Every structure is written in C-alpha cells, then in structure tokens.
Structure 1
Amino acid sequence: MRFVLSFRAALTPMLGVLLALAMQPAKAEEGTTVFSDASRIASIGGSITEILYALGEEGRLVARDSTSTYPEAAAKLPDVGYMRALSPEGVLSVN
C-alpha cells in the first residue's frame, strides 16, 4: 500500500513534465496572417472595456458583455451575454 501511494505521488509530476515536453511551440511562417481584420472589437470583461476606453479605442468597439457597465457609453453597445456563459451565436451576430 505504501508503494502505491509513493508511486502515485511520483507519477503526477512525471506526467506534468512529459506533457510539457510533448507540447511543441507554434511555428509562425513569414507572411502568415493570423488576424486579417482587427478593426472591430467585442469586449469581453468589464476591465477590458475600461482599458479600451482609456486607450481611446472606443470607436472600434462593436459589442460588450454584461459585466461591462463602465463607462456609461459602453452600455449603449450591444450586449452579447455574460462573459462565462457566452454563446458563439451571440458574439457572431454583432455587425
């Protein structure tokens, strides 16, 4: 019984190391475009919305989630739902 417990205790870190080694970093190729048009932003998270307004990027905002209540102008944007229960349809339906 004691051997089983010590084996399990050693197995967990070993699995973590193996998983970390098995993951390959993404290799970007020259000329590859990840985002072709980043001119429209749907802000998910009240703090993100506040940061975007502080940076002067409010003109690019097209939607917000229900936690984005400040600044007052953010309330006029379409609400796509709660940030932890978003549906893809709600986010993709914003024009």
Structure 2
Amino acid sequence: MNYLFDASFREDIMKESVIYQDILQQGRQQESLLLVTRLIKKRFGEVEPILIDRVSVLSVEELEALIEALFDMLDVADLVTWLQDQ
C-alpha cells in the first residue's frame, strides 16, 4: 500500500515538472496542427505548402481559433486573410 502512495506521489510531482508540462504542450500543438491541416485539406483540397508552413508556427490557442474560423471560411483567400491578421 505504501508503494502505491509513493508511486502516486512521484507521478503527481512529475506532472508538475516544467519538462512534463512542455511535453504535454508539444503534444497538444502537434495534435492541433494535425487536425487543422486535415480540416484545411478537407475544406479546400490541396493548398500551397507555404500556407501549411504558416499554420505550423501557430500556437495551440491560435490553432484552436483557426479550427473555429474554418467553419466560416468560404475559400482559401479567407484562410490567407485570417493568417495575415494573426
């Protein structure tokens, strides 16, 4: 029983570490980027690689905002405008 408490305590400490939080953030960014890229391709078909490059440097918060904005975009020009406004 004491072992379970120690393991749980170590896990809690690990989850609070800066390195662990950075890894989680990187994972969120990668997953968000994958989702946005798939949505862009589904909505507009293949787009210029430079647009994907522009999207790939967005923060998680910006990617989440882009996901919502994509539902209102009519064409690639709307995406270009959105990226320029960021």
Q: Give the alignment's TM-score, normalised by structure 2.
A: 0.28
* Structure with more of its chain in helix, by fraction: 2
* Structure with more of its chain in strand, by fraction: 1
Higher RCO (C-alpha 8 Å, min separation 6): 2
Q: Give the alignment's TM-score, normalised by structure 1.
A: 0.26
